[in-house]
């Protein structure tokens, strides 16, 4: 049987419109068949793609999972120029965010070790300033604290758009791995290890970004709303703005609860709300898909 010490890695790359780049990234992952891509989520408006990979989680040192993600990151840097990127989702780099999650009998410490190994390789081999968060960071720094230092949540072009790379080659925060200077063509990478996080997006039928930002703020734990929920308003299509949510403890506050809260607050603003959606499979679906992929090989 396959071992039950299994880890999951979610990789978010700032591209969804360049098919050649995406094909190159996915081709790189196939060099590591023991760490397959289980899910892919693309969003053209955000110009962002998310990949979910799963593999056996090692106790120490490099793993199939880390090696696969490193190969994908190299392919991304080789084919994507951050200077010409644009989209309605914030980002800090070509390979914007990577997070490891333990599944089944794997531990958070194992996920953190894998994250740190990858960060070292990203920093030294790919020469990308790399920041650690969650269990991978010695003080448990949070993802949003890093992003706030960089002004991640403030559009750099208009009310709704992020265009081009970072505007300075100096960094406001010392990297945990890699060079202390950043190139605008690559940006920086943020790598972490946490327990499971769900991403749940809710479309609102409105063009009033300020009204939807008020709703997002009231929903988020930071704004006094639902605990363990992070939310931001992002333009998504003509006449549609999404409340994009990170559910940091989905067993306590899940998508249904967030949907109810957004609908309730949106009624006060006179805004219609559509049904939200998850951007990835559930933990159980991911585990099932992974084992099903290998069931004929064992």
- Which residues are known catalytic residues? 89
Question: In whole angstroms, what is the distance from residue 298 CA to residue 171 CA?
Answer: 48
Q: Which residue has the tokens 């408006």?
A: 45
Side-chain-facing half-sphere of 232: CA atoms under 13 Å: 16
- Beta strands per DSSP E along 91-222: 95-104, 130-134, 162-163, 189-193, 198-205
Dihedral in degrees, nearest 10, Cα atoms 222, 226, 228, 230: -50
Exposed (0-12), middle (13-18) or buried (19+): which is 20, by Cβ within 10 Å?
exposed
Q: Which of 137, 144, 112 is nearest to 246 (CA)?
A: 144
Secondary structure of residue 75 in the 3-state scheme: helix
Query: How many Å apart are CA 278 and CA 189, to the nearest integer?
Result: 24
């Amino acid at each position: 049987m396959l071992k039950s010490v299994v880890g999951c890695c979610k990789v978010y790359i700032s591209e969804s419109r360049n098919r050649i780049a995406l094909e190159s990234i996915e081709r790189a992952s196939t060099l590591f068949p023991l760490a397959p891509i289980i899910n892919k989520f693309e969003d053209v408006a955000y110009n962002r793609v998310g990949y979910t990979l799963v593999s056996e989680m090692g106790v120490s040192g490099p793993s199939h999972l880390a090696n696969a993600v490193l190969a994908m990151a190299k392919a991304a840097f080789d084919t994507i120029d951050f200077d010409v990127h644009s989209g309605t989702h914030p980002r800090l780099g070509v390979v914007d965010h990577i997070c490891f999650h333990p599944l089944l009998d794997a531990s958070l410490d194992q996920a953190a070790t894998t994250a740190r190994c990858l960060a070292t390789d990203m920093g030294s081999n790919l020469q990308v300033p790399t920041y650690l968060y969650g269990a991978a960071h010695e003080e448990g720094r949070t993802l949003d604290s890093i992003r706030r230092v960089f002004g991640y949540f403030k559009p750099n072009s208009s009310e709704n758009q992020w265009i081009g790379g970072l505007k300075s080659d100096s960094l406001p925060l010392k990297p945990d791995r890699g060079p202390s200077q950043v190139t605008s063509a690559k940006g920086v990478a943020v790598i972490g290890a946490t327990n499971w996080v769900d991403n749940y997006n809710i479309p609102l039928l409105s063009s009033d970004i300020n009204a939807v930002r008020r709703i997002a703020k009231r929903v988020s734990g930071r704004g006094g709303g639902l605990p363990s929920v992070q939310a931001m308003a992002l333009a998504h299509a003509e006449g549609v703005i999404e409340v994009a949510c990170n559910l940091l403890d989905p067993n306590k506050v899940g998508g249904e609860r967030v949907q109810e809260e957004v609908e309730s607050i949106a009624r006060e603003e006179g805004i219609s709300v559509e049904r939200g959606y998850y951007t990835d499979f559930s933990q159980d679906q991911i585990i099932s898909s992974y084992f099903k992929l290998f069931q004929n090989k064992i």
